[in-house]
């Protein structure tokens, strides 16, 4: 007898072979047909029972949600809904599921809203939709690591607790071991963090970029892939308080090389998913189509889920300067007819998702990389151009989502970096180690950041980023 996963059995041609399989009951029809799923695939295995040969009390325990073990023979299915099925010779209830209690959960067969599913995030992975999303997420994670490892990048684990704010936005979660009801205070009444665990103020990281830069300037090319945190009180479908970031950093690499790397990386991981997640993507594609049809026509996506993936893979990314993009947007019909929520009036505007999507979906009809942004809307570490008003920054724009990648050539000149930090009131003492890298063999170097959940959201077609991470963290919610 072979013990196997359902995914393996469904692909097997070992007819008349005896198999043992474990899983959870999705349905039990006519006291005869068990739909069993073990999480290895979105597809269920049909297990056929001759109920006359089994104890009736035991059969009553085969309920939705119950965990069972089945032993039986693999045969060609007599029905047209599946290719193979198991003729059950023996089954064992591993864990009961009370039908009355199941009715109160998302395990019940009726359709549930995504909001309801979030309330039971510990159970939602047993549904078809979330099983598919989380399998895709797992494969995407592997594809990220495989790409960088194949291209001789070194994986670096940057600190989760840090004393620096890489983005300069100040939206950080404080980390402290002090008794906040009665903290030690300085003479002026402020909290004395010198008596705290780390001897200074510390926070949860918003990015591993600055630390990754230091390692790139010793190992050549590195990447981080870990959790990051933003204490931004934003209740939108695009924001999380805890999320994962992919951040490569490469020495001796300018902005053009950075754009090449980002495009190649994205295409690699999407090709990997198309190759390894066919069943899940087919399901999610159908789901996406159904969701789109329920929307008003003006809000529908012009592309199906699979079409969007191929749109990115099959097209070269169009590289456009911010200045050129502003001119296109200023003169486009939606802007002139005031159809945009944010009207583009002059150079220097911070582009919104609606502008980014217009450039991708309507104007260029391919993925777009915008570069050379105004310095005053970008971070201090981005390399200042000779014009003194733009920086060597780049954003990659995708259909249906807008910006998915943000990166830049980093400012390698010590004096320029110090000047920019002074303008923004960033304390040099806090980042002395970062400035040191510009004193000992500085060189051109670049990198980018990609929010992993944004990538999963794009690949799965989910409308809310809270549905592509196992246990979402957002304002007012830290359940589970």
Residues 302 and 445 in one domain: yes
Whats the size of the chain, residue-wise? 480
Residues 325 and 402 in one domain: yes
301, 302, 306, 304: which is closest to 271 by C-alpha?
Answer: 306
Residues 27 and 86 in one domain: yes
Domain that holds residue 58: 2-110
Residues 384 and 321 in one domain: yes
224, 242, 227: which is closest to 160 by C-alpha?
Answer: 227
Domain boundary among 204, 226, 249: 204
The alpha carbon of 246 is separated from its chain's Cα centroid by a whole number of angstroms, namely 10
Sheet of 318-321, strand order:
154-155, 221-229, 242-251, 445-451, 402-409, 390-398, 368-374, 318-321
Residues 128, 106: contact at Cβ < 8 Å? Answer: no
**Residue 456: what are its φ and ψ, rounded to 5°?**
-65, -40
The CATH number linked to 98 is 2.40.50.140
Residues 184 and 288 in one domain: no
48, 26, 49, 27: which is closest to 38 by C-alpha?
Answer: 26
Residue 139 lies in a domain: yes
Residue 242 lies in a domain: yes
36, 29, 49: which is closest to 10 by C-alpha?
Answer: 36
Residues 153 and 288 in one domain: yes
Residues 96 and 145 in one domain: no
Q: Which residues contact 366 (CB under 8 A, 6 or more apart)?
A: 311, 315, 316, 317, 318, 360
3-state secondary structure of 360: helix
Helical spans, DSSP H, in 78-127: 99-102, 114-119
The CATH number linked to 242 is 3.30.930.10
Residues 165 and 269 in one domain: yes
On the 0-12 / 13-18 / 19+ scale of CB atoms within 10 A, 477 is middle
Whole-model pTM? Answer: 0.94
Residue 476 lies in a domain: no
Number of domains, the chain? 3
Residues 127, 106: contact at Cβ < 8 Å? Answer: yes
Start-to-end C-alpha separation, the chain: 39
Residue 475 lies in a domain: no
The alpha carbon of 211 is separated from its chain's Cα centroid by a whole number of angstroms, namely 22
Residue 132 lies in a domain: yes
Residues 155 and 94 in one domain: no
Please tell me the predicted confidence (pLDDT) of residue 170.
Answer: 62
Residues 159 and 101 in one domain: no
Q: Do β-strands 84-95 and 67-76 pair in parallel, antiparallel, or remain unpaired?
A: antiparallel
Please tell me the predicted confidence (pLDDT) of residue 234.
Answer: 85
Max Cα-Cα span within the chain: 85
Q: Return per-residue pLDDT of the chain as tens, 480 residues.
A: 899 999 999 999 999 999 999 999 999 999 999 999 999 999 999 999 999 999 999 999 999 999 999 999 999 998 888 999 999 999 999 999 999 999 999 999 889 999 999 999 999 999 999 999 999 999 999 999 999 999 999 999 999 999 887 666 568 999 999 998 999 999 898 999 999 999 999 999 999 999 999 999 999 999 999 999 999 888 888 889 999 999 999 999 999 999 999 999 999 999 999 999 999 999 999 999 999 998 888 778 888 999 999 999 999 999 999 999 999 999 999 999 999 999 999 999 999 999 999 999 999 999 999 999 999 999 999 999 999 999 999 999 998 888 999 999 999 999 999 999 999 989 899 899 999 999 999 999 999 999 999 999 999 999 999 999 999 999 999 999
Residue 472 lies in a domain: no
CA separation (Å) from 115 to 170, 237, 240?
A: 30, 12, 15
Please tell me the predicted confidence (pLDDT) of residue 21.
Answer: 98
Residues 253 and 389 in one domain: yes
Please tell me the predicted confidence (pLDDT) of residue 297.
Answer: 83
Residues 247 and 375 in one domain: yes
Residue 184 lies in a domain: yes
Q: Could you say which DSSP state residue 362 is in?
A: I
Residue whose tokens read 């996506």: 301
Q: Do β-strands 445-451 and 67-76 pair in parallel, antiparallel, or remain unpaired?
A: unpaired
Beta bridge partners of 155: 223
Q: Which residues contact 308 (CB under 8 A, 6 or more apart)?
A: 301, 398, 399, 400, 458, 461
Two structure tokens written together for 387:
């014009």
């Amino acid at each position: 007898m072979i013990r196997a996963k359902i995914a393996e059995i469904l692909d097997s041609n070992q007819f008349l072979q005896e198999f043992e399989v474990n899983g959870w009951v999705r349905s039990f029809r006519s006291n005869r047909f068990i739909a069993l799923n073990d999480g290895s695939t979105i597809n269920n295995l049909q297990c056929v029972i001759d109920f006359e040969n089994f104890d009736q009390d035991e059969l009553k325990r085969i309920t939705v949600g119950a965990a069972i073990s089945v032993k039986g023979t693999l045969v060609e299915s007599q029905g047209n809904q599946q290719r193979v099925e198991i003729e059950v010779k023996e089954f064992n209830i591993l864990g009961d599921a009370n039908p009355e209690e199941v009715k109160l959960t998302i395990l019940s067969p009726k359709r549930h809203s995504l909001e309801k599913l979030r309330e039971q995030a510990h159970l939602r992975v047993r549904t078809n939709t979330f099983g598919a999303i989380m399998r895709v997420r797992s494969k995407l994670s592997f594809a990220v690591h495989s790409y960088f490892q194949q291209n001789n990048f070194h994986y670096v684990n940057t600190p989760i607790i840090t004393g620096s704010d890489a983005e300069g936005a100040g939206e950080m979660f404080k980390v402290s071991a002090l008794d906040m009801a009665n903290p030690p205070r300085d003479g002026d009444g402020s909290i004395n963090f010198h008596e705290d665990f780390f001897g200074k103020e510390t926070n949860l990281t918003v990015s591993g970029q600055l630390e990754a830069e230091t390692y790139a300037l010793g190992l050549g090319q590195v990447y981080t892939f870990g959790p990051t945190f933003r204490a931004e009180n934003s209740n939108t479908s695009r924001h999380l308080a805890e999320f994962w970031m992919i951040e490569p950093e490469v020495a001796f690499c300018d902005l053009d090389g950075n754009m090449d790397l980002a495009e190649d990386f994205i295409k690699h991981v999407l090709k990997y998913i198309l190759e390894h997640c066919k069943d899940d993507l087919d399901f999610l594609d159908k789901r996406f189509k159904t969701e789109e049809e329920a929307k008003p026509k003006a809000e529908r996506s012009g592309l199906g889920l699979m079409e969007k993936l191929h749109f990115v893979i099959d097209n070269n990314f169009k590289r456009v300067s911010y200045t050129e993009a502003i001119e296109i947007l200023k003169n486009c019909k939606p802007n002139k007819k005031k159809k945009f929520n944010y009207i583009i009036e002059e150079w220097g505007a911070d582009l919104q998702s609606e502008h980014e999507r217009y450039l991708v979906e309507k104007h260029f009809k391919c993925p777009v990389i915008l570069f050379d942004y105004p310095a005053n809307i970008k971070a201090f570490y981005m390399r200042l151009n000779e014009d003194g008003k733009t920086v060597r920054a780049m954003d990659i724009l995708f259909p249906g989502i807008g910006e998915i990648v943000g990166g830049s050539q980093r400012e390698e000149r010590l004096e320029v970096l110090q000047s920019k930090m002074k303008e923004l009131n960033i304390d040099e003492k806090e980042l002395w180690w970062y400035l040191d890298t510009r004193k000992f063999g500085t060189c051109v170097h670049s990198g980018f950041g990609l929010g992993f959940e944004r990538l999963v959201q794009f690949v799965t077609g989910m409308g809310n980023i809270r549905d592509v991470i196992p246990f979402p963290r957002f304002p007012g919610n830290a359940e589970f």
